[in-house]
Amino acid sequence: MPATRLLRPLQTATRRFSSTATSSLPSSVRLVEVSARDGLQALKNPILTTSQKLEYLNKLTASGLTHIEAGSFVNPKTIPQMANSGSLMGNLPAGPLWSFLTPNQRGLDAFLAHNPDLTTTEIAVFVSATEEFSMRNLGRPRDKAMADFGEVVRKARETDVKVRGYVSMVIACPFSGPTDPKEVGDAVEKLLGMGCYEVSLGDTNGFGTPKTVRALLHHLVKERGVSVDKLAGHFHDTYGMAVANVQAAAEEGVAVFDGSVGGLGGCPFAGPGAAGNVATEELVWLFEKQGVKTGVNIEKLIEAGRFMSGLLQRQGESKVARALMGKRTVTQEEPKAKL
C-alpha cells in the first residue's frame, strides 16, 4: 500500500484532534507577572535595592506585560525583600496595572500613604481555603482572616482602590490533605461579594493535576454559578504539573493566569519542597504556539529573566528560556564552527 494512503487517515485524525483540542481555548489571555512580589518574598538574600527593582520592572514593562505585582506592604521584619515597596511608588513605569499586596489595614494605610495613582495601581488580599494553612500563614483562623480582609476591602473600595483577591491551597494543603472544592467556593464567593473584581485560585503547593483543576472549576462555574470571567489561575510547579494545569484551566474558560519570570518564587509557609510559580516564559510559549495571544515579547521577557538571575546569582527555572537561549548560542557559534 502506498505510504500516502497510510498517512491520509492519520493526517485527517490529526486535523480533527487539533481543531477539537484548541476550539475551547480563549482567543487571548492576560498574564499577571508576580515575580517581583511572590517571586522574591521567600528569598532572604540578596535584598534587592529600589533601583534594582525599578530596572527589573522597566524590563518587564518593555516585554509587553500589562499587569505586574510590584511589592507588598507587609511587616519588613517578616518579609525583608518587601521593605522598599513604598519607595517604588511614584517611580513605576507607565503602561501596566501595578498590584501591591496588603494583608491588613496597616498595609492598606501604608499603600494609601504613598499617594498611589488609582488609575494604574491596585491592592491584593489573600485568604486560605483551609483552616490549617490560615493559621500558619496568617496566624489567625480562616473566618477571622476573612472578616479582617472584608474590612480592608470595604475601606479600599470607599477610596476607589481596585482589589484583586487570592485563595490559597485550592487543591490540597500540606497540613490537612485534599481541599474540599466547597471550601474554595465559599472563599471565592465571599471575596467577590466583598468587592474583589477577580479571584486568583492558588495551587500553592503545586499538588494539582488537570483532573482536579477541572473538577474545581466545574464546581465553581457549573454548580455554584461563579462567572469564569471572575477567575484566574495561579499554579506552582512543585510536581511539574503547572503547565498542564494551566492548559486544563484555559480549556475550561479561564483567561487570566499568574506567572513568574524564571519560575521564581514559592510560598515560605507552604511546607517543605514547595516550588516556585509556573514560569511566565512557559505560559507565553504555551499560548502563542496554540494561537492564543498574550501580547508579550518572549525575547524581552527572557532578557528580564537574565537580568534578575544576575541580581540573584542563580539560574532561572524556565525550560523555555533555557531552550531559546541555547538555540541562540548555537546559532551564534555556527560561523565559527564552519571556519
Active site residues: 267
Q: Are 309 and 315 in contact (CB under 8 A)?
A: yes
Please list the residues that pair with 259 across neighbouring strands.
Answer: 33
Q: Which of 311, 299, 265, 268 has the alpha carbon at shortest distance from 56?
A: 311
Do the bridges between strand 67-72 and strand 172-173 make them parallel or antiparallel, or are there none, so unpaired? unpaired
DSSP conformational letter for 109: H
Q: Cell 499617594, residue?
A: 115
| Residue 52 Cα distances to 4, 118, 245, 310, angstroms | 58, 24, 33, 11
Q: Answer left, alpha or beta for residue 282, where phi above 0 means left and psi between -120 and 50 means alpha.
A: alpha
Distance CA 112, CA 71 (A): 14
Q: Are 200 and 234 in contact (CB under 8 A)?
A: yes
Tell me how many degrees the CA angle 58-61-62 measures, rounded to the nearest 5.
90
Q: Which of 250, 251, 270 has the alpha carbon at shortest distance from 259?
A: 250
Q: Cell 474590612, residue?
A: 151
- Burial label for 219, CB within 10 Å (0-12, 13-18, 19+), is middle
SS3 state at 247: helix
DSSP conformational letter for 260: B
